[in-house]
Amino acid sequence: MEIISVINYKGGVGKTTLTANLAAELAFRGKKVLMIDLDPQASLTFSFISPEEWKDNIAPAKTIKSWFQPIGSRSKKKDEEEVKFEDLIIEPESTSEIVRENDGMLKLLSSHLDLINVDLELATQLGGANMTQVKESFLKVHTRLIDGINQLNEEDYDYIFIDCPPNFNIVTKNAIVASDYILIPAKPDYLSTMGIDYLKKSLNKLVKEYNEYCEADGEVNDEEKISPKILGVLFTMVQLYGGQPISASRPFIAQTKKIGMPVFESMIRENKTLFSSAPIDGYPVVLQGGQNNVITEIEEATTEFEKKIRENEE
Ligand SMILES: Nc1ncnc2c1ncn2[C@@H]1O[C@H](COP(=O)(O)OP(=O)(O)OP(=O)(O)O)[C@@H](O)[C@H]1O
Ligand SMILES: [Mg+2]
């Protein structure tokens, strides 16, 4: 089971689109995949299920909100039954048939528009009167997601993708703490690439802080420590000319490599027509079939993704 967070501070760089398509393609290739939507905008969730279905069947008790919330109101809910992580996971109908043809599986843990309040609530849980309390609250607040993932059977999933919101709040930090790998989609432009170096620094800072708190525990074993690895930057919505990124994009791709970031060889080009209709169908572009450059590029990116994971595992 490999856990991958899809992160970039910058909004609208293709995080959700990439998550949905990579996850769907891997499931189509026979892998067992879980997608976790951690963004209160819930775009990933609405890429697979309709707002009506979400409102009626999912929102009341089957979203990530139900998982995070008890931490803030545990005293009130003491007598109620604990939420089981697995019970929050659904299998979107739109894709189940096609992925099952090859024995794959694609599941979803949906988001909730209220997740924004959960983040604020979690922030109030931090701190304490002394170092021991500060450390305990820090670890408790940041391990909520990994505690849930740890309830799952290791064999039940090959990949877990976590689609993060465009910020570095506590919910995003939960994703990082839970992750083996970080995947960074970016547009090759100034604003999208500017934040990559900053993201790397923030990641390092969180890992250091977390591991220091773990050590302060006294009885720490190395398994509790975290070391998420940056799998790479994958350029999306790339404008091409003659099969190559337009000259305006190239400096940003070069700069990303120059700061020592691993960069995917695969890129996904911009195609407004294809992506504009996708979310409504509950069916990611890559599964729609037919001959299309973007589909080929997503397939190539998926192959490269698995290759990079394999290389890292060796
Ligand atoms: N290759 C592409 N070509 C054209 N449009 C695209 C492409 N990939 C994604 N889009 C569109 O760009 C918009 C933003 O994409 P997406 O929601 O995946 O970004 P995001 O990084 O998850 O955004 P947010 O930060 O708001 O979560 C969407 O409307 C999506 O359909
Ligand atoms: Mg998104």
* Model confidence pLDDT, tens digit, residues 55-98: 999 999 999 999 998 655 545 555 456 899 999 999 999 999 99
CA torsion 286-289-293-296 (nearest 10°) is 60
**Orientation of helix 170-178 relative to helix 190-215, angle to 10°:** 70
**C-alpha of 252 from chain center:** 24
Residues within 6 Å of ligand 1 by CB: 11-17, 39, 41, 43, 166, 236-237, 268, 270-272, 275
CA angle 308-145-135, nearest 5°? 110
d(CA 62, CA 200): 33
Q: How many helices and strands in the chain, by DSSP H and E?
A: 13, 8
User: Which residues face 36 on adjacent strands?
Assistant: 109, 162
pLDDT, position 61: 92
d(CA 56, CA 182): 33
What value does the mean pLDDT take over residues 302-308?
98
What value does the mean pLDDT take over residues 13-29?
97
pLDDT, greater one: 280 or 123: 123
pLDDT, position 261: 94
For tokens 């989609």, the residue is 185
pTM of the model: 0.95
Ligand 2 centre to CA of 229 (Å) is 21
Tens of pLDDT, residues 196-244? 999 999 999 999 999 998 887 666 666 789 999 999 999 999 999 998 9
pLDDT, position 224: 83
Nearest CA to ligand 1 atom 16: 14
Is the pLDDT score of 254 beyond 60?
Answer: yes
pLDDT, position 24: 97
Ligand 1 centre to CA of 17 (Å) is 6
pLDDT, greater one: 306 or 132: 306
CA angle 182-164-225, nearest 5°? 45
Backbone angles phi, psi at 286, to 5 degrees: -65, -25
Is the pLDDT score of 192 beyond 80?
Answer: yes
Nearest CA to ligand 1 atom 29: 276
Ligand 2 centre to CA of 314 (Å) is 31
pLDDT, position 79: 46
Ligand 2 centre to CA of 225 (Å) is 28
**C-alpha of 214 from chain center:** 24
Please, what are the domains in the chain?
Answer: 2-313 (3.40.50.300)
Burial class (CB in 10 A: 0-12, 13-18, 19+), 130: exposed
d(CA 183, CA 201): 15
Q: What confidence category does residue 185 fall into, taking pLDDT thresholds of 50, 70 and 90?
A: very high
